[in-house]
Amino acid sequence: MNNTPISSLPKPLLRLSGGARGDKALVVLSGGQDSTTCLFWAKHHFKEVYAISFVYGQKHSSEVKLAEEICRDYGVNFRVMDISFISQLNHNALTDTTIVMDQEKPEGALPNTFVPGRNLFFLSIAAVYAREIGAFDIVTGVSQTDFSGYPDCRDSFIRSLNVTLNMAMEEQFIIHTPLMWIDKAETWKLADDLGVLDVIRHRTLTCYNGIPGDGCGHCPACKLRRAGLEQYLSTKNS
């Protein structure tokens, strides 16, 4: 385990009303590196943690099974929602088996692994469920520094949606994004600081081809994950 002091870990946001953060959080959990790291971040900061996963027609849906297993082993309340209708709304390489996946981000365009509306649906549905269980702190693993440049992973989108959800339900949700401004190497460091580097490395699925752990090694997600791990380990061991 990394010897970084716990006090140096990213902190939850505070409520604008001046009140303390809640004791219950809901994590949007895919079963991948980022969201699972956020799950353990939430377990460190909140007394009670719930997780919600989504089946949306993704080719690598086995990630949801891994998410369920981790939640079971670490005492996290888990729920999965089927929103497969998303795959009927547009064509993309994560849900359509006939589309060859972009290996690099196209210049001036989004990669075809972008699923339009995915995080919009995820977080909106999560907020409705969070309200039902009384968890007004929602945690998601999006990052603006990721290679993809997905618009629904940007800080401006999250802030805008947070306001919209609060207005839509007359509640005071806070969407926490612990990874928003850190890269993959720093995400591995966070996992190590939380004492779960091996869990994240071997029990999560980031690979677009559905291979757990270190994955296929060829898809963009695997390349990004591996590069970040190698960078972190080289720094840690130097």
Domain assignments of the chain as residue spans, ordered by start: 22-183
Q: Does the pLDDT of residue 146 top 80, yes or no?
A: no
Distance between CA atoms of 173 and 129, rounded to whole angstroms? 12
Give CA separation, 223 vs 25, 106, 170, 184, 228, in Å.
Answer: 31, 16, 42, 11, 9
| Token digits of residue 140 | 């998601």
3-class SS of residue 165: helix
β-bridge mates for residue 51, sequence order:
27, 78
Taking phi over 0 as left and psi of -120 to 50 as alpha, with beta for the rest, 117 belongs to: left
pLDDT band of residue 12 (cuts 50, 70, 90) is confident
CATH topology of domain 22-183: Rossmann fold (3.40.50)
Q: In the structure, what pLDDT confidence band is assigned to residue 186 with cuts at 50, 70 and 90? A: very high
Quick one: which of 196, 25, 220 has its CA closest to 113? 220
What is the C-alpha separation between 129 and 13, in angstroms, rounded? 20
List, for residues 41-65, the tens digit of each pLDDT value. Answer: 999 999 999 999 999 988 878 999 9
Q: How far apart are CA 224 and CA 148, in angstroms?
A: 10
Q: Could you give the strand order of the β-sheet that contains 137-139, starting from the edge strand earlier in sequence?
A: 77-82, 48-55, 24-28, 137-139, 174-176
Confidence grade of residue 16 (pLDDT, cut at 50, 70, 90) = very low
Q: Residue 33: pLDDT band by 50, 70, 90 thresholds? A: very high
Comparing CA positions, the residue from 69, 75, 73, 68 lying closest to residue 49 is 75
Task: Give the model confidence (pLDDT) of 116-134 as tens digits.
Answer: 999 999 999 999 999 999 9
Give CA–CA dist 231/221, Å, rounded.
Answer: 16
Strands, DSSP E only, in the chain? 24-28, 48-55, 77-82, 137-139, 174-176
Q: How many CB atoms lie within 10 A of CB 49?
A: 27
| φ, ψ dihedrals at 28, nearest 5° | -80, 110
What's the gap between Cα 86 and its chain centre?
Answer: 18
Rounded to whole angstroms, the Cα distance separating 127 from 134 reads 10
